Amino acid sequence: MLRGAKNPQAHSVVDMPLRLQIRDAAETAADRRGLLTAMCACVVLVVGMVAAINLAVPMLAASDLHPSASALIWIVDTYVIFFACLVIPGGAAGDRFGRKGVLLAGLALFALGALLSAIAPNVPFLLAGRAITGIGAAAVLPNTLAVLLHAIPAERKGVTIATWASMTGIGGVVGNVGGGAVLAGGSWRWLFAAAVPLSLALAALVARIAPVSPRHERPLSPLGAVLLVGASVALLLGIVEGPEAGWTSPIVLAGFAGSVVLFALWMFVELKAEHPLLDPRLFRVPALRSACLGMTAIFFGMFALFYVNASFLQYGKGFGVLPTGLGIIPLTVPVVLGARHVGKLVQRFGVDVVVAIAFLFCGCGLIGLSTSDSSTPYPVYAAWLVVTGIGVTLALPTLSAAISGSLPPAQAGVGAGLQATTREFGSALGVAVIGTVLTGRFVAALPEDIREAHDPHTVAQALSVAAPSRSPEVISAFVTGASTALRVIGVSVLVLGALVVLQSRLSRNTK
């Protein structure tokens, strides 16, 4: 062999370990990307269902289930309230019984609840399906993040958490657009039916690629979870049933009284527990208290808007269900374009200034939307959605950071659970309040003869009993109700925002 010539076989043997390392590294990176994609898809599914159901409200109102106005609100809120109250227990169950296993169980429950909802013969059956779906969602959301954090290296955790968190916002968009596309087929049942194969496919994917993480002896406090759900349902019962049953009726008074008693019992149980799931003493920290109130208020306004927007664009503007789903997109434009710049604004102007501006934009945007009627051009309506979206864009990362920063690193999981709970509870409360105001104002705005002869509480009920020539009067009454409801929500957001900023400033001054 000539001097300097290379032995191909020797070269192959020497380079083989390096080539194997490169190949293994590439496969590991691909596996991580696949796992991140799967976990993000799970988040989009459970969050998207919160938004998508609003598009189905007009279809449900006109369906053979004949739901009342309060039943329509419960169909939306039952899923959200179980989701909100059980997301922290869902994370604790994952720590104790295995995150992968609880995640798979959550996807299975989600599929079961969606299937029961799709075939529901009556409203109680549908509500049971919605509750099961919400329990499944509460098991899915926290454990997707827990599975990711166990599987990725420390240097990738920041990027991974940011990507995962962004899915909660993207999920709302996907829920509106995807839900609109599915509902364009003509039946509200298709929305739930479509969720069944999606959740089962994700379960199969998770079973194949998700790693098994260690278990921890974390307490579950089932009594505390039951009391929190019961207290929240009782509060919504009082709010939702007021317009139809009367604000002094036994069921409404019992709802409010039961809520007070059950919340008090929940606090007593959690304070006595050696390892509470959600320690009420945490709310003694003023910064945490104001940030949680702020997160609740923002989602209160945003999901109140989702509830009315879907019906307004369909009834008031005559949009089809798919254009209605697409019609909310202007709200998300500021989120997509501006979210990454919010941190710089906070550094320059401070948390209080950014939060104050956020609530100003959000509240004024909702009030601006309340001025819309059937003759308002959609671009004007969309402009007010953008204004509202700017407020949401400024608020969410700022308040999320405030919640996380108010707790020590050892309680990062508690902070994540608090963010999920406050978001979903605010969503449920927003739907309940705006639905209640909308119903009351709609009924009052109906022509007197229609109201006294038939006592309708939904647009579908009123349209079914009114002569076709009087449909414009019914739609006009609905638009009046929607305007009043959005105005009430907008003012409420401004007031809550002022309280958040005041609480935050007081907490800083007392340090």
CA distances from 461 to 321, 436, 450, 455, 458 (A): 19, 16, 11, 9, 5
At 6, list the tokens.
């290379």
At 4, list the tokens.
């300097």
Average the pLDDT over 499-505 and give the result. 86
- CA 36 to chain CA centroid, Å, is 20
Residue 492 CA to residue 495 CA, distance in Å, equals 5
Residue 367 CA to residue 361 CA, distance in Å, equals 10
At 263, list the tokens.
């919340």
| Residues above pLDDT 70, as percent of the chain | 90
Mean pLDDT taken over the chain: 86
Neighbours of 276 (CB within 10 A): 18
pLDDT tens for 199-236 read 999 999 999 988 887 777 766 778 888 998 999 999 99
The pLDDT value recorded for residue 22 is 52
Picking from 299, 308, 293, 255, the residue whose alpha carbon sits closest to that of residue 434 is 308
pLDDT tens for 138-149 read 999 988 888 887
CA distances from 132 to 105, 109, 113, 172 (A): 12, 6, 5, 20
Q: Cite the DSSP H helix spans in 56-98.
A: 57-61, 69-97
The pLDDT value recorded for residue 496 is 95
Coil, strand, or helix at residue 393?
helix
The pLDDT value recorded for residue 25 is 45
Q: Which residue has the higher pLDDT, 340 or 511?
A: 340
Of 249-253, 309-313, 412-416, 459-463, which gets the smallest average pLDDT? 412-416
pLDDT tens for 6-55 read 454 544 444 556 554 555 444 455 567 788 889 999 999 999 998 899 99
Of 55-59, 159-163, 322-326, 484-488, which gets the smallest average pLDDT? 159-163
Q: Which residue has the higher pLDDT, 452 or 404?
A: 452
Cβ-Cβ contacts under 8 Å for 401 (sequence gap 6 or more): 343, 346
Burial label, 433 (beta-carbon count in 10 A; 0-12, 13-18, 19+): buried
At 5, list the tokens.
């010539």
pLDDT tens for 434-460 read 999 999 999 999 998 888 877 888 898
Residue 88 CA to residue 228 CA, distance in Å, equals 11
Residue 266 CA to residue 274 CA, distance in Å, equals 14
| Cα separation of the two ends of the chain | 81
Pair 325, 454: CB distance under 8 Å:
no
pLDDT tens for 288-339 read 889 899 999 999 999 999 999 999 999 999 999 999 999 989 998 888 788 7
Which CATH number is associated with domain 285-511?
Answer: 1.20.1250.20
Residue 446 CA to residue 453 CA, distance in Å, equals 11
pLDDT tens for 453-483 read 778 888 988 988 888 888 999 999 999 999 9
The pLDDT value recorded for residue 412 is 61
Pair 356, 493: CB distance under 8 Å:
no
Decide if pLDDT at 5 tops 60: no
pLDDT tens for 255-285 read 999 999 999 999 999 888 877 877 888 888 8
Q: Locate the domains of the chain by residue range.
A: 31-210, 221-276, 285-511
Considering the entire predicted model, what is its pTM?
Answer: 0.85
4 — pLDDT class (breaks 50, 70, 90): very low
CA distances from 134 to 75, 88, 114, 306 (A): 11, 13, 10, 18
Residue 25 identity (one-letter amino acid): A
Picking from 315, 368, 380, 309, the residue whose alpha carbon sits closest to that of residue 487 is 368
Neighbours of 315 (CB within 10 A): 22
Q: Which CATH class is domain 31-210?
A: mainly alpha
The residue whose two tokens read 């799970």 is: 42
